[in-house]
Copies of this chain bind each other. A is one copy, B any other.
Amino acid sequence: MTTPQAYIDRQLQRFQAELFDFLRIPSVSARSEHDADTRRAADWLAGRLRAVGLQAEIVETARHPVVLAQWRGAGRDAPTVLVYGHYDVQPPDPLELWTSPPFEPTVRDGRVFARGAADDKGQVYLHVAALEAYLANGGRLPVNIVLVAEGEEEIGSPNLVPFVERYRERLACNCVVISDTGMFAPDLPTIVRALRGLAYLEIQVEGPRGDLHSGTYGGAVVNPATALARIIAAMHDENWHIAVPGFYGDVRDWDENERAVIRALPFTESEFRAQVGSSALDGEAGYSTLERLWTRPTCEVNGLLSGYTGEGAKTVLPARAMAKVSFRLVPDQDPARVGQLVREYVNRIAPKGVRVTITELHGGRPWRAAAEGPYLQAAARALERTFGRPPVYTGEGGSIPIVGEFERILGAPVVLLGFALPGANMHAPDEWFALESFEKGMRTIAYLYEELAG
């Protein structure tokens, strides 16, 4: 009888090749021209899950479908694990900054470069591989499995909460395992215990009916791009505190013990600065870099567009200006409430002579894990068996809005067990996933099922 770990040894090349097939599908959920590709990724994944031995179906939603699969052969007394991931990816723009094409997976220095390599196809697929390692050749898993892979994570999971609520009985489980996060450092296995939430807004500022000649009209007509810049500049004070009144009202501060755990992590600001390539680091006064990333809310401009942006000079007074602005939230901030506070503030500070429209593109609640429990401990043991050392516990600046929703709807704790390495360029050009992380991820998940079964 082959052990799951021995099976992984032998099938590693094939698992990689299959991951590359998955990565070749440009399942960009935000772009309607990729809708067919996004569906193709769902079909591909469901097909693989069936081949592995799960029952798998495609569940339609208002936009991109959910892949729902299960294996219930461990019996009523065995725990049920819900695995969640997503098969959609971020848009690849700007394309010209990719070293190799985003949907042509390319290995360099032991890393596979492709959009979705780390976020989240690579980390979804290592679960598929771990399941196959048990189920191949008529084998069995020690736990029951429900697998949910959605196609809308990168656009804010608008249809996932209705899905989870509707399928609540079928999704009943003892714990939820999600691999969509990273490790704090190479060889440092990591369990993430805090996630920020998100309120993502688009601000449209309209001035004159059409673009005007900036000489003929400039000075007497309020410029929407200037007005937008003023609005954005007013989001922070000089200490990078967010200046929206009431914004910090629901922020739960981390206590000194929790801050001490963060301080104990192996982290140097200078290395972080060198990694991101900024000339200096700065952020909210009174907090360290890791505290700014994990424990504090933030306001970021994600995109700006107005007027003439091509080669050379065009003397236009633009009719409109657009900003995409997103707020990362921490417990107990609520995205709808934050959206409302921002709307009221912007309407108050917007210069006379422009019309401002704010659209909420998506939102998600922040999350912090409950105190330790048996599932978190099982995950820690599985990581230690793979990596030879116990995990560190960290936060994560990004958002996985569904985490809090799973806990709320299903009443089961979520364990965040991710394998991306720092600098993986999630959401940026040249996204990558280390092939070693792919392998260790499979091994850890395979161990996890043993540990969960007790």
> What are the 3 closest A-B residue pairs judged by CB atoms, nearest first?
A209-B277, A215-B398, A233-B233
Shortest distance in angstroms between A387's beta carbon and chain B's nearest beta carbon? 22
- Tell me how many chains of this kind the complex includes: 2
Q: A328 CA to B233 CA in the complex, in Å?
A: 24
Contacts of A323 in B (CB 8 A): 225
Shortest distance in angstroms between A46's beta carbon and chain B's nearest beta carbon? 25
- For residue A425, CB closer than 8 A to chain B, the reply is yes
Residues 305-319 of A contacting B (Cβ, < 8 Å): 305-318
Contacts of A289 in B (CB 8 A): 220
Q: A292 CA to B219 CA in the complex, in Å?
A: 5
**Knowing A278-B222, A302-B308, A304-B307 touch, does A213 contact B292 (C-beta < 8 A)?**
no
Contacts of A94 in B (CB 8 A): 211
- For residue A281, CB closer than 8 A to chain B, the reply is yes
A305 & B309 in contact (Cβ 8 Å cutoff): yes
Q: A427 CA to B208 CA in the complex, in Å?
A: 14
B304 & A306 in contact (Cβ 8 Å cutoff): yes
Contacts of A235 in B (CB 8 A): 226
Shortest distance in angstroms between A151's beta carbon and chain B's nearest beta carbon? 13
Shortest distance in angstroms between A303's beta carbon and chain B's nearest beta carbon? 4
Residue of B nearest to A428 (CB): B211
Q: Please, what's the 1-or-0 string for A289-301, where 1 marks a CB less than 8 Å from any CB in chain B?
A: 1101100111111
A interface residues (Cβ-Cβ under 8 A, vs B): 30-32, 90-91, 93-94, 97, 154-156, 182, 196, 198, 200, 202, 207-223, 225-226, 228-236, 272, 276-284, 289-290, 292-293, 296-318, 321-324, 326, 328, 351-355, 361-362, 396-399, 425-430
Q: A95 CA to B221 CA in the complex, in Å?
A: 23
Contacts of A321 in B (CB 8 A): 301, 304
Contacts of A233 in B (CB 8 A): 226, 229-230, 232-234
Contacts of A430 in B (CB 8 A): 210
A353 & B280 in contact (Cβ 8 Å cutoff): yes
Shortest distance in angstroms between A90's beta carbon and chain B's nearest beta carbon? 6
B362 & A313 in contact (Cβ 8 Å cutoff): yes
B218 & A31 in contact (Cβ 8 Å cutoff): no
Partner of A310 from B91, B220, B279, B308 at Cβ < 8 Å: B91
A324 & B313 in contact (Cβ 8 Å cutoff): yes
Contacts of A426 in B (CB 8 A): 213, 216
**Knowing A208-B277, A217-B276 touch, does A302 contact B328 (C-beta < 8 A)?**
no
A30 & B313 in contact (Cβ 8 Å cutoff): yes
Partner of A428 from B210, B222, B312, B354 at Cβ < 8 Å: B210
Contacts of A312 in B (CB 8 A): 30-31, 91, 155, 361
Residue of B nearest to A354 (CB): B279
B229 & A215 in contact (Cβ 8 Å cutoff): no
A302 & B293 in contact (Cβ 8 Å cutoff): no
Contacts of A399 in B (CB 8 A): 215, 315
Contacts of A308 in B (CB 8 A): 91, 93, 302-303, 324
**Knowing A302-B214, A318-B301 touch, does A310 contact B31 (C-beta < 8 A)?**
yes
